Amino acid sequence: MINITLLDIIKDYQTGADKAVLIFKNKYNVNDILEGWHSGIYEQTGKLVDEGLYFYAFHGIGLAAHFKDKIVDFDFAYFPEPRHDGFDLWRLTNFIQNQRNKYPDYNNKEKIEREFNEIIENGIIAKPKLENSTTLYFFKDTLTTEIINEAPRKNNNNSQKKSQTWWKKLLGYK
């Protein structure tokens, strides 16, 4: 049996986002799929079943893409070029919940959150500092050093320490 980690799930999520973007780029010959939607090249919602997209819905700065075996809901971040490989806890949790049979070890939201916080603390993922703010995380090795925002990592450590202290007091631990 293969031991699947949250990092493997993130990569699967990113692969799904890549697939959705490529479907639109190839079918409609566009570089920026959000611009294609805003320009009226295709509808906000629809189906591209022949391409493997059973339903899609553009929203704000993102896309929900329904494939036969998964649903990937992702947003774009602008570096200034659009990127779609970002993720956050909410998006990953929904991605996992839509594939409970594929990821049975991740049916516990607390486990997902704990592991997500661990990969932040370990410096594997980070939020970029961008002119147009984003709530998305990216693999740190895909970001240039000058745009890595270390604040969430530091804040996360502090809030976790406070939380542990609170629980210790509540339960009478020293």
pLDDT in tens, 128-170: 987 776 789 999 999 876 677 665 554 444 444 444 443 334 3
pLDDT tens per residue across span 107-138: 899 999 999 999 999 999 999 987 776 789 99
Q: Which pLDDT score, from 0 to 100, does residue 34 have?
A: 94
Q: What is the residue type of 59?
A: H
Cα angle for residues 62, 4, 119 (degrees, 5° grid): 65
Contacts made by residues 69-72, CB under 8 angstroms, sequence distance 24+: 69/99, 69/102, 70/12, 70/16, 70/95, 70/98, 70/99, 70/102, 71/95, 71/98, 72/13, 72/16, 72/17, 72/19, 72/20
Question: What average pLDDT does this structure show over 88-110?
Answer: 94
pTM over 0.85: no
